[in-house]
Amino acid sequence: SVAFMQAFRDVCGARSPDKVSTMVNARRFLPELGADALFGLAPGVALCAKSLPSAQELSADSFWARSRAVKADLNRRIERFGAGFYETLAGLESLHDRYDSVVAFFENAPAIPNLTLSNLGRLNLPGNYRTFTLQKVYSPLVMVSPTPANTIVMSSFAGEMEFAFISDEQSLPCAAAREIRQRAMEILRICA
pLDDT given at position 144: 59
User: Maximum Cα–Cα distance for the chain, whole Å?
Assistant: 53
pLDDT given at position 74: 85
The DSSP secondary structure of 13-53, one letter per residue, reads: GGGS-SEEEEE--GGGG-TTS-TT---S---EEEEE-TTPP
- Of residues 42 and 136, the one with the higher pLDDT is 136
Asked whether the predicted pLDDT for residue 127 surpasses 80, the reply is: yes
Asked whether the predicted pLDDT for residue 190 surpasses 80, the reply is: yes
pLDDT given at position 145: 61
Prediction pTM value: 0.78
Would you say 154 and 141 are in contact if contact means Cβ atoms under 8 Å apart? Answer: no
pLDDT given at position 110: 61
pLDDT given at position 164: 87
Integer angstrom CA distances of residue 16 from 9, 81, 170, 180? 5, 28, 14, 11
**Segment 138-172, tens digit of pLDDT:** 877 776 565 557 888 888 888 888 888 888 888 88
- In the chain, the percentage of residues whose pLDDT exceeds 70 is 82
Would you say 42 and 24 are in contact if contact means Cβ atoms under 8 Å apart? Answer: yes
